[in-house]
Structure 1
Amino acid sequence: MWEAIRNSFKIPELRSRIIFTFLMLAVFRLGVYIPVPGISLASWANFFNGVSAGAGGGFFTLLNAFAGGALSNMSIFAMSVTPYINASIILQLLMAVVPSLKELAKEGEQGRQKIEKYTRELTLLLAAVEAVALTIVVVMPHATPGLNKVAFIILSSISLMAGSMFLQWIGEMITDKGIGNGISIIIFAGVVATYPFYLGQMIISNLSITSWALFFLIFVVTIFGLIYIMQGERRITVQYAKKVVGRRMYGGQSSYIPMKVNQGGVLPIIFAVAILMIPSMIAQFTHNYTLQSIFGFNSVFYIVVYALLVFFFTYFYSAITFDVHDVSDNIKEYGGFIPGIRPGVPTEQYLAKVLSRITFLGAIALVVIALLPNISATIVGSNSGQIVGGVGMMIAVGVALDVVQQMEAHLIMRHYEGFIKRGKLKGRI
């Protein structure tokens, strides 16, 4: 691995991409400590610490993790790239039900650019709405005393909206000139940046040697499990019949359809968290202690409903991302067939059966990962639950895998060994 890292800096293009990515992340981390103009930091710190400890504080903790601690500082980056994530999810759901958007997604590069344009416009709209709502509902009571309220609302909303759109631009720049998906890299940096804080809290709490051993065991097993699930796929063999066109013969070769065990990635967990945070937020701001106890992080009702929602959204998103009818039609159109399965409806039924089986395994795995923070918090301690499992660790592992795969592609293309040994390669430039 260390040899592959050294080789990465020997390739000028890859070296410049890595350096550019780190510089953009440095800008992101610097902005985390620039507060919204007019905010009383002492008042906000007292409020944030209190609400994070409450039953409805899961929403603030999750958003703060995505923002890399920017929300706890009430920074201009407090909303992070959540408006962009929301816009992307909305458009993906719309593409499943709006035929024109679905056709646009199939038009190649031109269609992709149009969808990106729609995503940016929707992101700007959502960022404006979320910035105004966050300022009026949450931030305004903690403005500097004596400051004009209207002026503070305008200034704070514009700052939060501009910060979110600036982060989106940084993400796009990383995608074009850096390494990996820029938006995912920003979320990854935010999530990982909160780990030292929670580790420090665990150290202060004087855990026993047994608790530390259990924590590291859960941590390591979770990482290997996530890699196995994210990389796992079922390959359906497709054979193409031979056909003669003019003097040339086409087809006759075999290929495969990769069916991911985890089609939806982290989105089913995000959907479930977003739904469950609504009653938690209502309970927190209305001081309804009954609701707070019902939707508490470790309550039985919360855990059961959370698991059921994750399970449901895994199936829901798999059905959206892998359309067995379209795949079956494409196989038939290009003269292909699955060995032992007739083209058409039998192929569609077979694919639906296989998808249902592997999605069931993926859903069970996602439920376990989603509940790992609760399990770890019960076994080890409350702060360990912020590090092990859940949305944050899935994003961290997924982004790390994506970056490693892109770097390895650059290395192998230039005759260097990648991160995985495949035997000695001849010739180096």
Structure 2
Amino acid sequence: MASAVEQLAANLSFASFAKAEDLKKRIWFTLAALVVYRLGTYIPIPGVDANELARLVQQNSSGILGWINGLAGGALGRMAIFALNIMPYISASIIIQLMTTVSPHLEQLKKEGEQGRKKINQYTRYGTVILAALQAYGIAVGLESQGNAVIDPGWYFRISAVITLTGGTVFLMWLGEQITARGIGNGISLIIFAGIIAGLPSAIAAILELGRTGQMSTFLIIGIIILALVTIAVIVFMERAQRRLLVKYPKRQVGNQIQNVDPSHLPLKLNTAGVIPPIFASSLLLLPITVSNFSQGSGPDWLNTINALLGRGQPLFLAIYIGLIIFFAFFYTAIMFNPKETADNLKKYGGFIPGIRPGERTAEYIDYVLTRITVVGALYLAAVCLLPEILTSYAAIPFYFGGTSLLIIVSVTMDTVSQVQSHLLAQQYEGLMKKTKLRGSRK
């Protein structure tokens, strides 16, 4: 069976893609949905001075404002209806997942299968609306405090901004779910991916312009290109890396014969947490810098001191950044993967790891292996995000060439390509089964 699957995978080609009508429909639907998303990033909310807003975003580009604006494809800088992007939904998802570890009710829902998953998704949607409304109100009040950024400040502007921005986030949440169900790939990830990709041409043009005017040397530009390519290669290698634990099953009786069951493997990803640790670490670390920047130096002394110590490229900034990435790598891995549940499932179906007693001992062994490979995965994430962060500080490289953005781009691309291959493989397998049945009926 395994050799047949490998043979099918080797035969995947453009010819097989041309015959995959369902896959082509999914791809076209995904592209159309992403076009709708990009159009929404250019529709501004009413009551905002575009020129003053552009100056404000440029002034705070080193803080979390610029970081979120990069993820949103420039929508925040234009204060578009999709300015909040899908970030409130991601935050709500993380909060609900964290609560499942401490709430017996949510933990029970998680074990109820499809019905429980729908209920948890409903809670996530409610949380998204609440977080989006709070963030939208904060943005509205913040804009009113920035001089002439708002044409007519007051409660009318605040209410309209909250309704518009919250509605934009809810629409993106729905759009992401539609892409996942009717398109190809993970809808939420593809929306973030599209936002980052949309800013790449302007970022490349900005670097070339710096080289043309002599503000950046040609050797530095070449070095940036080489570094980006090396970083992409490392990300591809590490994201595909797995530790495969051998799993064997007892012999089974078929009729009067005793047959051996082929052993399988339990794959443990080197980076189970994905891109969550860098995103959370950046958000927490850049928050005080943004607050200080908004205060225009008029805040308390302790806030200005924190802003100076946590400046881009400062030793304290880099040390805390690494620490937060490593912490969230372990924390999120513990949420995403349950060794005890995996061990119980293996025991339920008669599987066992050679040399390890089924049950609790298997859970302890899986947890031991997972902890060791997570150390490597966390250090990999820290290295990928740290080196570009240093260059961003000293060479003024745009956000899009940072480790987090490259990590998102490469990971989403690999996941989408993998799903396309899975669809093609499933189609070829169905075609093979139909031919086998047809030959059997003729005989």
TM-score with structure 1 setting the length: 0.88
Quick one: which of 367, 371, 390 aligns to 2:403? 390
1:184 equivalent to 2:189? Answer yes
Q: Structure 2: state its 5+ residue gaps.
A: 1-11, 298-302, 430-443
C-alpha distance in 2, partners of 1:356/1:129?
37
Quick one: which of 348, 365, 368 aligns to 1:333? 348
For 2:335, the aligned partner's letter is I
Q: Would the aligned equivalents of 1:140 and 1:153 in 2 still touch at CA under 8 Å?
A: no
For 2:77, the aligned partner's letter is S
1:147 equivalent to 2:160? Answer no
Q: Would the aligned equivalents of 1:373 and 1:390 in 2 still touch at CA under 8 Å?
A: yes
1:323 equivalent to 2:323? Answer no
C-alpha distance in 2, partners of 1:339/1:6?
43
- Cα distance, 1:148 vs structure 2: 5.3
- Cα distance, 1:41 vs structure 2: 0.8
Q: Could you tell me which residue of structure 1 aligns to residue 419 of structure 2?
A: 406
For 1:12, the aligned partner's letter is E
Q: Would the aligned equivalents of 2:196 and 2:400 in 1 still touch at CA under 8 Å?
A: no
C-alpha distance in 2, partners of 1:211/1:189?
27
Q: Could you tell me which residue of structure 1 aligns to residue 436 of structure 2?
A: none
Q: Structure 1: state its 5+ residue gaps.
A: 417-429
Q: Would the aligned equivalents of 1:266 and 1:391 in 2 still touch at CA under 8 Å?
A: yes
Q: Could you tell me which residue of structure 2 aligns to residue 105 of structure 1?
A: 110
For 1:46, the aligned partner's letter is R
Quick one: which of 353, 363, 370 aligns to 2:385? 370
Give runs of aligned pairs for residues 25-36 of structure 1, distance below 5 A: 25-36=34-45
Q: Could you tell me which residue of structure 1 aligns to residue 244 of structure 2?
A: 235
- Cα distance, 1:247 vs structure 2: 8.8
| Farther-moved stretch of structure 1 (402-411 vs 342-351) | 342-351
- Cα distance, 1:91 vs structure 2: 1.2
Give runs of aligned pairs for residues 139-218 of structure 1, distance below 5 A: 141=146, 147=152, 149-206=154-211, 207-218=216-227
Give runs of aligned pairs for residues 263-342 of structure 1, distance below 5 A: 263-286=272-295, 287=297, 288-342=303-357
Q: Could you tell me which residue of structure 1 aligns to residue 6 of structure 2?
A: none
Quick one: which of 368, 372, 390 aligns to 1:353? 368
Q: Deviations over 1:136-181 (max 9, x none)?
A: 1235646676625111111111111111111111111211221111
- Cα distance, 1:244 vs structure 2: 6.4
Corresponding residue SS for 1:393: helix
For 1:360, the aligned partner's letter is V
Q: CA RMSD in A?
A: 2.6
C-alpha distance in 1, partners of 2:320/2:26?
43
For 1:390, the aligned partner's letter is G
C-alpha distance in 2, partners of 1:63/1:5?
38
- Cα distance, 1:135 vs structure 2: 1.0
Corresponding residue SS for 1:414: helix
Q: Could you tell me which residue of structure 2 aligns to residue 78 of structure 1?
A: 83
For 2:68, the aligned partner's letter is L
Q: Structure 1 pair 175/346, CA: closer, same or farther in 2 (3 Å)?
A: closer
| Farther-moved stretch of structure 1 (195-204 vs 4-13) | 4-13
- Cα distance, 1:196 vs structure 2: 1.5
Q: Would the aligned equivalents of 2:246 and 2:353 in 1 still touch at CA under 8 Å?
A: yes
1:69 equivalent to 2:74? Answer yes
Quick one: which of 230, 234, 257 aligns to 1:221? 230
- Cα distance, 1:5 vs structure 2: 5.7
Corresponding residue SS for 1:330: helix
Q: Structure 1 pair 415/332, CA: closer, same or farther in 2 (3 Å)?
A: closer
Q: Deviations over 1:65-122 (max 9, x none)?
A: 1111001111111100011010111111112222332232233222222222121111
Quick one: which of 44, 51, 61 aligns to 1:42? 51
Q: Would the aligned equivalents of 2:250 and 2:351 in 1 still touch at CA under 8 Å?
A: yes
C-alpha distance in 2, partners of 1:185/1:47?
28
C-alpha distance in 2, partners of 1:71/1:312?
29
| Farther-moved stretch of structure 1 (315-324 vs 20-29) | 315-324
For 1:308, the aligned partner's letter is G
- Cα distance, 1:301 vs structure 2: 0.5
Q: Structure 1 pair 133/9, CA: closer, same or farther in 2 (3 Å)?
A: farther
Q: Could you tell me which residue of structure 2 aligns to residue 96 of structure 1?
A: 101
C-alpha distance in 1, partners of 2:41/2:311?
29
| Farther-moved stretch of structure 1 (235-244 vs 67-76) | 235-244
C-alpha distance in 1, partners of 2:417/2:199?
22
For 1:224, the aligned partner's letter is A
Corresponding residue SS for 2:221: helix
C-alpha distance in 1, partners of 2:146/2:16?
53
Q: Could you tell me which residue of structure 1 aligns to residue 4 of structure 2?
A: none
Q: Would the aligned equivalents of 2:310 and 2:317 in 1 still touch at CA under 8 Å?
A: yes
- Cα distance, 1:18 vs structure 2: 1.4
For 1:212, the aligned partner's letter is I
Corresponding residue SS for 2:406: helix
Quick one: which of 134, 139, 158 aligns to 1:134? 139
C-alpha distance in 2, partners of 1:183/1:315?
23
Q: Would the aligned equivalents of 1:238 and 1:338 in 2 still touch at CA under 8 Å?
A: yes
For 1:334, the aligned partner's letter is Y
Count matched residues. 410
C-alpha distance in 1, partners of 2:397/2:402?
12
